[in-house]
Amino acid sequence: MTGTAPAARPLLEVRGLRVVFDGFTAVDGLDLTVAEGELRFLIGPNGAGKTTLIDVVTGLTRPAAGQVLFDGTELVGRREHRIVRLGVGRTFQTSVVFERLSVVENVDLAAAFRLGLPRLLRVRRGVSGTVAEALERTGLTALADRPAGELSHGQRQWLEIAMLLAQRPRLLLLDEPVAGMSRDERERTGELLLEIARDHTVVVVEHDMAFLRSYARTVTVLHEGRVLTEGDVAQVQADPRVREVYLGRRGAGDEPAVPAGGEVG
């Protein structure tokens, strides 16, 4: 353990994780520890295994080897909804909301999983405090009664975050929450992240260096299924190995991505 690690106990511990897809090793001996209350950024070039890591933690993908401990409880082998019930929530890289339901119905469903069957059988009357708060924090209150299918791309991402907040998870895993957002929307999302991180443990996958510089504290860099390095933003940016894996891909200034192989004609 490095001396810089805070005294807080680990909430998420990933040990020796290996994920294989049809013979292709996507994650190869990955270790990661996230302390309670931390805001952790996860970066890495395309295909580094960031989404796969989240998929394993949330039960969507089964690892070939390794452990995932959430507050000491093994998550590997548990079904998706059980993991949610333990307090782990996630969003998806391409947002998935229920388009036929209204915004408030989406958030209400996310909040209602703790209710028993008799209460689920009742009609929702009004908006519960949890749901109202989640809508308020994500700025969706005014859109509450709109069908979710009518939301803009950015608003859908916020709706996902609102649904996540309404679940009241202890650990939030966000997969590229600002992808495809306008500059304004990114800023609002960044502020939202910082605010959420005040009372939650949050892991954010994000490529965007400018976003990282503005909002990240601790950053973990993944590359080819392993942890390349870990540290604060300045440290990570100065690391020559990080520069190398990102070289020509996504530099500090948001240049267009170029494959490392250099097949450019």
Ligand X SMILES: Nc1ncnc2c1ncn2[C@@H]1O[C@H](COP(=O)(O)OP(=O)(O)OP(=O)(O)O)[C@@H](O)[C@H]1O
Binding site for Mg ion (CB under 5 A): 51, 93
Q: Which of 241, 195, 235 is nearest to 215 (CA)?
A: 195
Cβ closer to ligand X: 4 or 46?
46
Applying CB under 8 A, does 108 fall inside the site for another protein?
A: yes
Applying CB under 6 A, does 16 fall inside the site for ligand X?
A: no
Site for ligand X in 59-118 (CB under 6 A): 93
Could you give the dihedral angle defined by the CA atoms of residues 223, 228, 232 and 238, in that order, rounded to the nearest 10 degrees? -90
Applying CB under 8 A, does 79 fall inside the site for another protein?
A: yes
Cβ 14 vs Cβ 53: under 8 Å: yes
Could you give the dihedral angle defined by the CA atoms of residues 108, 129, 36 and 85, in that order, rounded to the nearest 10 degrees? -40
Task: For residue 163, report the phi and psi dihedrals to the nearest 5 degrees.
Answer: -65, -40
Cβ 216 vs Cβ 224: under 8 Å: no
**Contact partner, 7, from ligand X, another protein, Mg ion, none, Cβ < 5-8 Å per class:** none
**Contact partner, 80, from ligand X, Mg ion, another protein, none, Cβ < 5-8 Å per class:** another protein
Amino acid at 42: L
Q: What minimum distance in Å lies between the beta carbon of 121 and ligand X?
A: 37
For another protein, which stretch binds (CB under 8 A), given 7-15, 116-124, 182-190, 193-201? 116-124
**Contact partner, 244, from Mg ion, ligand X, another protein, none, Cβ < 5-8 Å per class:** none
Rounded to a whole number of angstroms, the CA Rg of the chain reads 19
Binding ligand X by CB under 6 A: which of 21, 64, 180, 238?
21
User: How far apart (Å, rounded) are the C-alpha atoms in residues 254 and 146?
Assistant: 34
Binding another protein by CB under 8 A: which of 3, 23, 24, 122?
122
Cβ 215 vs Cβ 190: under 8 Å: yes
Applying CB under 8 A, does 172 fall inside the site for another protein?
A: no
Cβ closer to ligand X: 49 or 190?
49
Strand partners, 89: 172
Residue 19 three-state SS:
strand
In this structure, the number of other CB atoms found within 10 A of the CB of residue 100 comes to 9
The residues that touch ligand X, with contacts defined as CB under 6 A, are 21, 24, 26, 44, 46-52, 93
The residues that touch another protein, with contacts defined as CB under 8 A, are 58, 79-81, 84-85, 89-90, 92, 96, 98-102, 105, 108-110, 112-115, 117, 119-124, 145-147, 149-150, 163, 167
